[in-house]
């Protein structure tokens, strides 16, 4: 089971996540978010990641110029798109399309796009409808996000059977500041759930 930790703002948090066995790290490019980073910081952290860890640029209501500027100034080759956007992504860039579990956007996503299921307010820590997520996960691979914590991720995996899980607020001690203990506990809970 793959784990993505989103809202990385510090190199030390990225290092803990990598050591714990994370699959991907998300860097938020959305000004109003307390987890917002600039391309310089994202590049500094992403360029130090081992080859098995994917750096993801996360956008909300993105404009093409903003997305392309980040892609051109960093080594990031995966984007995650939330909300409205007018972006045509270069073909060599992988797309993660954020949807809610109950809207029709997930079915409209292209077959080569990975669907991430979140609530309508990403980063709020609010849980998605796991039963609706399970119905979608039975049809295509999904990344389950929204309100996951070390305490509930095993249950979420059992119900939804996602391709991957994504956490941000559930492993924080303050907005944008991850807690090493919670990162390790979350990834440990995922591993235990998969091996049970």
Two tokens, residue 112: 């080569």
Distance separating alpha carbons of residues 162 and 182, to the nearest angstrom: 21
Catalytic residue among 6, 13, 99, 166: 6
Beta strands in 118-192 (DSSP E): 142-144, 164-167, 172-174, 177-178
Catalytic residue among 13, 99, 118, 166: 118
* Residue 107 annotated among the catalytic residues of the structure: no
> Phi/psi at 59 (nearest 5 deg)?
-125, 150
DSSP bridge pairs for 28: 36, 58
142: three-class secondary structure by DSSP: strand
Distance separating alpha carbons of residues 5 and 187, to the nearest angstrom: 10
* Residue 65 annotated among the catalytic residues of the structure: no
> Biggest alpha carbon distance in the chain?
46
- The DSSP H or E segment spanning 194 is helix 180-195
Distance separating alpha carbons of residues 80 and 82, to the nearest angstrom: 7
Catalytic residue annotation = 6, 118
């Amino acid at each position: 089971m793959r784990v993505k930790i989103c809202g990385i703002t510090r190199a030390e948090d990225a290092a803990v996540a990598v050591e714990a066995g994370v699959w991907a790290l998300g860097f938020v490019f959305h000004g109003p978010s307390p987890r917002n980073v600039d391309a310089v910081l994202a590049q500094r952290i992403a360029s130090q990641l081992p080859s098995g860890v994917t750096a993801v640029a996360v956008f909300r209501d993105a404009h093409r110029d903003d997305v392309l500027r980040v892609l051109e100034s960093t080594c990031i080759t995966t984007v995650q798109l939330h909300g409205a956007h007018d972006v045509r992504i270069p073909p060599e860039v992988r797309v993660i399309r954020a949807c809610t579990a109950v809207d029709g956007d997930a079915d409209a996503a292209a077959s080569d796009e990975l669907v991430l299921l979140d609530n309508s307010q990403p980063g709020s820590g609010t849980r998605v409808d796991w039963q609706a997520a399970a119905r979608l996960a039975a049809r295509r691979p999904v990344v389950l996000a929204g309100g996951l914590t070390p305490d509930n991720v095993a249950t979420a995996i059992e119900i939804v059977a996602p391709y991957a899980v994504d956490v941000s607020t559930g492993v924080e001690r303050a907005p944008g500041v991850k807690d090493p203990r919670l990162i390790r506990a979350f990834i440990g809970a995922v591993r235990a759930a998969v091996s049970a």
